[in-house]
Amino acid sequence: MFTGIVTAVGRIASVKPTAGGRRIVVAAAGLGLADGQIGESIAVNGVCLTAVAIAAGGFDADVSLETLRCSTGFEAGETVNLERALRLSDRLGGHLVSGHVDGTGVVVSVEAAGDNRVFWFEAPAAVARYTAVKGSIAINGASLTVNEVDGMRFSVNIIPHTLAATNLGALAAGSRVNLEADTVARYVERLNQFGRSL
């Protein structure tokens, strides 16, 4: 479980094909892995991955074919948002993020709003159905608040700190991003399905 508060930006240093997907090496010097352990979960662009090797400057992880099918950001040289798993004593600054990406979205437009930037994204139906004004959404693992919704599209306002501390500042129209809907919305939908069937 994660909070969606990105703590470092890393880089995919190398990618090696495997029978089950890819083995990636993530350069993550700023993540603070001195106490890292093999087997721990680390969110990479919002995708929960298991560290299979840890070194001073980063870690290795295996990315399954299913993860490659429903997410983006695992090519050599790409910058990625990073977050270590939540500890029970941590502050929950964002919202509960599982690291189970629901699909990829596309940046439709980016506009300056003073120091901030307003981004419009187009989401697949599997995510758009859970997107609500003032609700939470994770974009490349960063917890953000939805400002407006228009059909399959939604907007977020990103402040200068978030633009500088994540890879979101490099996004432009046409960029693909990983999206994770708010977990609470999924459970509400499931509860409603059971309520109608009883």
Q: Are residues 78 and 161 in the same domain?
A: no
Listed in sequence order, the residues at least 6 apart from 188 whose beta carbon sits closer than 8 Å to its beta carbon are none
Q: pLDDT tens digit string along 54-97?
A: 998 999 999 999 999 999 999 999 999 999 998 877 777 878 88
Q: What is the pTM of this model?
A: 0.90
Say if residue 146 is in the same domain as residue 179.
Answer: yes
28 is a domain residue: yes
192 shares a domain with 135: yes
- Both 39 and 115 in one domain: the answer is no
Which value, in Å, is the radius of gyration of the alpha carbons in the chain? 17
CATH number of the domain encompassing residue 42: 2.40.30.20
Indicate whether 168 and 112 sit together in one domain.
Answer: yes
Evaluate whether 118 touches 111 at the Cβ level (below 8 Å). Answer: yes
Type of residue at 196? R
Q: Is residue 97 part of a domain?
A: no
* Residue 145 maps to a domain: yes
Evaluate whether residue 95 is within a structural domain.
Answer: no
Summary mean pLDDT of the chain: 93
Q: Which two tokens stand for residue 51?
A: 């560290």
pLDDT at 192: 87
Comparing CA positions, the residue from 7, 195, 5 lying closest to residue 94 is 5
Residue-wise pLDDT for 127-157, tens only, equals: 999 999 999 999 999 999 999 999 999 999 9
Give the residue from 84, 111, 143 where a domain finishes.
84
Q: Is 98 within a domain?
A: no
In a domain, 49, yes or no: yes
pLDDT at 147: 96
Among 54, 84, 114, give the residue marking a domain's end. Answer: 84
Both structure tokens of 175: 């960029």
182: in domain: yes
CA 40 to CA 17: how far, in whole Å? Answer: 22
15 with 60, same domain?
A: yes
Positive or negative, the CA dihedral 166, 175, 160, 183 is: negative
Is the model more confident about 119 or about 91?
119
Q: Does residue 172 have a pLDDT over 90?
A: yes
How many domains is the chain built from?
A: 2
Range of the domain at 73: 8-84
Asked if residue 139 is part of any domain, the answer here is yes
Residue 197: pLDDT over 70 = no
More confident residue, 108 or 187: 108
Could you tell me if 72 and 176 are in contact, meaning their C-beta atoms sit under 8 angstroms apart? yes
CA 119/CA 187 separation, integer angstroms: 27
Cα separation of 165 and 3, whole Å?
15
| CA distance linking residue 51 with residue 62, whole number of Å | 8
Q: Do 58 and 126 reside in the same domain of the chain?
A: no
